Amino acid sequence: MPLPFSRDQFFAVFAAYNDAVAPVQILLIALGIGAAALALWPLRWSDRAIGLVLAGLWLWMGVEYHWRFFRPVNPAAMLFGAAFVVEAVLLAWAAAGQRRLAFRAPRSLRGGLALALLVYAFAVYPAIGWALGHRYPAAPTFGVPCPTTIATLGLLLWSVERPAFAVMLIPWAWALIGSTAAFRFGMWEDLGLPVALVISLGGWFAQRSRKTT
């Protein structure tokens, strides 16, 4: 199915976004790394902080990236943005609700795979992009959907209890949608999305299996 925008328009969206929001990208990646650090070395208020950071990132992506910058070249971004805002509300509810998500980095295969996804999102993803010739500002930075979805799936793998299906559905869906850029535009760093999807699904069902046996 043909897309309503070209490869040049796709990268121009990143350039316009990065030029407009700089230096907020530094704050966004600091929040992401900080959330991961709080799961590794938890404090009394860590769980709520991690959930609210995730909610804030998804709200930012829905409003600032999809609605403000991606919508002019892709009408579907209106729907994508709405889905991301819904995800932000779900994450905020999970963070602030009575039975809020708790985050701990387990010393297990699941914990190690989650850490690998986080390292990929924060460091390996931009490194691959650089190697492929994707130069700032016309390159995705943390805080746009694809690397941030990988980090989200990694952090949710560190939840003590299995997250609700509703919380997982939109990140899983974007992992499929976003990965198409790898094949259409040579965004090979986005192949981390289907890998993250498979790892996340495996971890989610494994948690369910342990709770029901």
Every domain of the chain and the residues it spans: 7-212
Instruction: Note whether 166 and 88 are within 8 A (CB).
Output: no
Average pLDDT of the chain to the nearest whole number: 94
- pLDDT-derived band at 42 (thresholds 50, 70, 90) equals very high
Which stretch of DSSP H or E encloses residue 82?
Answer: helix 77-96
- How far apart are alpha carbons 57 and 170 in whole angstroms? 14
For residues 31 and 97, the model is more confident at 31
Q: What angle do CA 50, 56, 201 make, to 5 degrees?
A: 60
212 pLDDT more than 50: no
- How far apart are alpha carbons 79 and 66 in whole angstroms? 9
Query: Strand locations in 103-193, DSSP E?
Result: none
pTM more than 0.85: yes
